[in-house]
C-alpha cells in the first residue's frame, strides 16, 4: 500500500514543475514614457539645398523596363540584355517600340548596342549604337 504514494507524489511534482516552467507569464502593463523622442543624428537634421546648376540625378533604372514588366525595376545588365534579346525575337510593333525606348534611355552601352543590333537585324533604319 505504501508503494503507490511515492509514485503519485512524483507524478504530481512533475506536473507542477511542468506548469511552472511552461505556463505563460502574467501580462505586464505597457510602459509609457512622456519623454520627447530622441533627436535625429546631425547628418539628418540639416541637408544642404540642391544647387540649381546641378543636373538631375538619373533614375535608378531605365524607364523602358516598366514598359515590359513593372516588376523588372532595378534589374541588372544581364537581365536587361536578356529582355532585349526576347524583344528582338518577338519582332512585333510593340517590341520594336520598346527597343526604340532602349536606344534612347538605356545608360549601359552593352544594352544599347544589343538593342541597336536587334533593330538593324529587324531592318529598321533607326538602329543606332
Q: Where are the domains of the chain?
A: 74-122
Other CB atoms within a 10 A radius of the CB of residue 84 amount to 27
d(CA 108, CA 116): 12
Q: What is the mean pLDDT of the chain?
A: 79
pTM beyond cutoff 0.85: no
Q: What is the pLDDT of residue 26?
A: 79
Other CB atoms within a 10 A radius of the CB of residue 62 amount to 21
Burial of residue 61, with CB atoms counted within 10 A of its CB: 0-12 exposed, 13-18 middle, 19 or more buried: middle
| Residue 125 pLDDT greater than 60, yes or no | no
Cell of 128: 543606332
| Residue 8 pLDDT greater than 70, yes or no | yes
d(CA 101, CA 78): 18
Cell of 28: 505586464
Amino acid at each position: 500500500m505504501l508503494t503507490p504514494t511515492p509514485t503519485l507524489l512524483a507524478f504530481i511534482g512533475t506536473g507542477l514543475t511542468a506548469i511552472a516552467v511552461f505556463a505563460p507569464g502574467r501580462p505586464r502593463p505597457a510602459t509609457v514614457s512622456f519623454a520627447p523622442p530622441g533627436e535625429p543624428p546631425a547628418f539628418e537634421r540639416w541637408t544642404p539645398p540642391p544647387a540649381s546648376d546641378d543636373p538631375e540625378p538619373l533614375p535608378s533604372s531605365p524607364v523602358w523596363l516598366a514598359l515590359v514588366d513593372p516588376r523588372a525595376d532595378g534589374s541588372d545588365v544581364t537581365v536587361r540584355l536578356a529582355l532585349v534579346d526576347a524583344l528582338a525575337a518577338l519582332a512585333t510593333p510593340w517590341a520594336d517600340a520598346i527597343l526604340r525606348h532602349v536606344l534612347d534611355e538605356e545608360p549601359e552601352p552593352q544594352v544599347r548596342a544589343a538593342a541597336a543590333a536587334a533593330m538593324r537585324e529587324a531592318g529598321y533604319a533607326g538602329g543606332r549604337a
